[in-house]
Amino acid sequence: MTAPHQEPDGPGGARSHLPDDTLPLRLHDGPAPAAPTASASVSEPKGGAARLARSSALMAAGTIVSRVTGFLRTLVMAAAIGVGTLNDSYQVANVLPTMIYTLVGGGALNAVFVPQLVRAVKNDKDGGEAYANRLLTLVVVLLAGATTLCVLAAPLLVRMMSPDIAADPQRMALTVAFARYCLPTMFFLGIHVVLGQILNARERFGAMMWTPVLNNVVTIAGFGAFVWAFGGFARSGVSPTTITPEGVRLIGLATLLGLAVQALAMFPYLRKAGVRLRPRFDFRGHGLGKAVGLAKWTLLFVLANQLGLTVVTQLATKAGAAAERAGHSGAGITAYNFALQIWQMPQAIITVSVMTAVLPRISRAAHSGDAGAVRDDISYGLRTSAVAIVPCAFAFLALGLPMATLLYGSSDAQGAEGVGHALMAFGLGLIPYSAQYVVLRGFYAYEDTRTPFYNTLVVALVNAAASALCFALLPARWAVTGIAASYGLAFAVGIAVAWRRLRRRLGGDLDGARVLRTYARLCTAAAPAALAAGAASTALLHALGTHVLGSLTALVVGATVLFSLFLALARLLELPELNAMFALLRSRRGR
């Protein structure tokens, strides 16, 4: 599938079934290496630094493997069905279960029930086991009913997501067929998330990060079998009008089986943690009512997010179809989603891993009224993640084209360029996207779901308005590039709003001067490095072409220039977070 559980921190994006935000939740397709681990010593209480570092490292390793196999999945997907309108139909069908799951309760589960689970584990005599069983029972009943209704309503849902597809009888029939395989995955997605949150509340983070690898492996096998049976896209040119029912069934079953395996793989982890699962229907008087009351604002939060996603999907599928009719493939929702998945990787590996490990501690500090500790952890998360997020954002801006042509050029050369342009447009938006993710954890720690709703509404409106403007003003082949840039713009507005609100919540102090100084120094080092890297890679692409060798050479040379120059400039600026990272790396080499 494309993006699993994730708390919708912003509208219009798309995630995959990768652990992007549940840990500590976008849509489509999907949830530290050294950076978070290294900086664990920066402004960290000594007693928690080692455990935080171990948790972050475990989650980072799982996320890296998940993301790598996720990339392999998209590569095999592109090799099987290309990056054009056929894949657009699959993307529309595949985003529906994540979208509906999040609407039904995914956002509330992450934002509201995690603090409740933490408290139940800490305060209840049974270690929170009864509360966890009631929650799991509630999720199973709710999602079973919602999944049944959605499968029956698949034509209506597809029409809602893309009127352009609905206007074409052949594409409509194809997308509905895909949707009826994809929609049941929302049930398994919900099971996976709730079981993962039960483990997270016990500070056992590995399962949530590693089980998506199984999903990716099953999906890769399914699309690989499609290539073996029907030939690769470069040779077959398969389209919505030529794909066979057997081909649709193969892709659909692989998608469904992948999520089922991902969910079922959680049970051995639960047994190892000593958690005994059994149905419990005694919901009244055990805290679930309070959590449901808190969830009403999260539901509105999620609704705003999904409305933004719907607008983006409608505009991108319409632009992609128009561009393909004009002879330009790879300018639709598939290019947008593939670029988004690459762009989100630093966020998933770094920011999410750090904040997942920190989130239980922030919740405890908020519960005890220690605003200073909440502030310190938010500042720590922002500064720690920025050390890697900022240079990665500039790298996408400078090197997005050779990244995409290297990954997808052999399957669909023109489509790969569309992915690359979208990736460049996403680029710098990674900075506010990551920062807002961290800041919103502060509101969730106080069980404040109303403020994130208002913030997300602002982001959704800006994203939808800017995306619609790009669709109206730009040629069809460039509309998705503009829509990708709109995503980052929306988060830049969103982080400004969220920052002011959280600062007031914490008594007017959010360590702002220190945080802004860190970001300013990082951008000062990254901007000239990106300019030099972009110039070098562009010259090489023009000289060597966008085939595998040319793209690889441009990417390697560009990345070497960018990160070497960035590190040299950053060291001159004497960033303590960066120095801590190098110190930790040196100490590990010495062991």
* Band (296; pLDDT cuts 50, 70, 90): low
Measured distance CA(90)–CA(585) in Å, rounded:
43
Candidates 570, 438, 464, 567; CA nearest to 9 is 438
Backbone dihedral angles phi then psi of residue 15, each to the nearest 5 degrees: -130, 175
Tokens, residue 280: 């419990």
Q: What is the pLDDT of residue 484?
A: 95
Q: What is the pLDDT of residues 58-117, one digit of tens each?
A: 666 776 788 788 889 999 999 999 888 899 999 999 999 988 877 766 555 655 566 666
Lowest mean pLDDT, pick from 4-8, 23-27, 251-255, 526-530: 23-27
Average pLDDT of the residues of the chain: 80
Lowest mean pLDDT, pick from 106-120, 123-137, 398-412: 106-120
* Band (455; pLDDT cuts 50, 70, 90): confident
Average pLDDT over residues 285-299: 57
Q: What is the pLDDT of residue 270?
A: 84
More confident residue, 567 or 276: 567
Which residues lie below 8 Å from residue 147, measured CB to CB, with a gap of 6+? 183, 184, 186, 187
Q: What is the pLDDT of residue 349?
A: 76
* Band (224; pLDDT cuts 50, 70, 90): very high
> Which amino acid, 523?
C
Q: What is the pLDDT of residue 282?
A: 62
Asked whether residue 216 carries a pLDDT value surpassing 90, the answer given is: yes
Report yes or no: 25 and 306 within 8 Å, Cβ to Cβ: no
* Band (409; pLDDT cuts 50, 70, 90): confident
Backbone dihedral angles phi then psi of residue 28, each to the nearest 5 degrees: 55, 140
Asked whether residue 11 carries a pLDDT value surpassing 60, the answer given is: no
Q: What is the DSSP letter of 571?
A: H
Asked whether residue 208 carries a pLDDT value surpassing 60, the answer given is: yes
Cα–Cα–Cα angle for 492, 493, 495, nearest 5°? 70
Average pLDDT over residues 14-31: 33
Q: What is the pLDDT of residues 144-183, one digit of tens each?
A: 998 999 999 999 999 999 888 999 999 999 999 999 999 9
Report yes or no: 521 and 458 within 8 Å, Cβ to Cβ: no
Measured distance CA(583)–CA(450) in Å, rounded:
41
Strands (DSSP E) contained in 402-472 are none
More confident residue, 466 or 198: 466
**370: Cα within 13 Å, side-chain hemisphere:** 11
Candidates 248, 5, 219, 222; CA nearest to 104 is 5
Asked whether residue 19 carries a pLDDT value surpassing 70, the answer given is: no
Candidates 512, 502, 498, 494; CA nearest to 371 is 502
Three-state SS at 114: helix
Q: What is the pLDDT of residue 131?
A: 75
Q: What is the pLDDT of residue 34?
A: 29
Lowest mean pLDDT, pick from 143-147, 283-287, 328-332: 283-287
Q: What is the pLDDT of residue 415?
A: 82
Q: What is the pLDDT of residue 284?
A: 58
Q: What is the pLDDT of residues 508-537, one digit of tens each?
A: 778 888 889 999 999 999 999 999 999 999
Tokens, residue 330: 């790879």
In the chain, the percentage of residues whose pLDDT exceeds 90 is: 38
Q: What is the pLDDT of residue 125?
A: 66
Measured distance CA(363)–CA(439) in Å, rounded:
13
Q: What is the DSSP letter of 211?
A: T
Q: What is the pLDDT of residue 422?
A: 95
CA distances from residue 197 to 24, 132, 252, 357, 372 in whole angstroms, order as listed: 8, 9, 28, 12, 26
Lowest mean pLDDT, pick from 114-123, 248-257, 520-529: 114-123
Asked whether residue 579 carries a pLDDT value surpassing 90, the answer given is: no
Q: What is the DSSP letter of 28?
A: B
Measured distance CA(450)–CA(454) in Å, rounded:
7
Q: What is the pLDDT of residue 28?
A: 31
* Band (130; pLDDT cuts 50, 70, 90): confident
Buried b (16+ CB within 10 A) or exposed e, 220-231: bebbbbbbeebe
Q: What is the pLDDT of residue 51?
A: 58
Asked whether residue 43 carries a pLDDT value surpassing 90, the answer given is: no
- β-partners of residue 15 are 28
